[in-house]
Amino acid sequence: MTMETYVICAGPFEESLAIVGDPDFTSRNFLECRTYIEQIVREFGPPPGNAFLFIQTEIHSFGIFRNVAVRFNSDDHEEVAYADAVENGSPRWDEISLDELGR
């Protein structure tokens, strides 16, 4: 089994997301990632097999930055298809996510 990871983003690619350096960046970034994982599962279903979605944390010169990522078995066609679909992501927040984010 060969596991791979795609780092996606902290939220939908057409949305304005938390910006490093903002006073509430850490909490906002985490909330966006958690909310985005829930939206991905609503849109694409739960990850198949051994694949899973998670929040990947990186140390940046301005502090901690998080992104949603998907880990999957690159030998499993169903997991690869899911990871490919999820990597392309969603362009916008859905209504449930907007409520969770307080927008």
Domain tally, the chain:
1
Q: In this predicted structure, what is the pLDDT of residue 22? A: 86
Which residues does the chain have with pLDDT short of 70?
none
Buried (b) or exposed (e) across 43-76, using 16+ Cβ within 10 A? ebeebbeebebebbeeeeeeeebbbbbbbbbeeb
Quote the crossing angle between the two packed helices 25-44 and 77-88, to the nearest 10°: 130
Q: What global pTM score does this model have?
A: 0.93
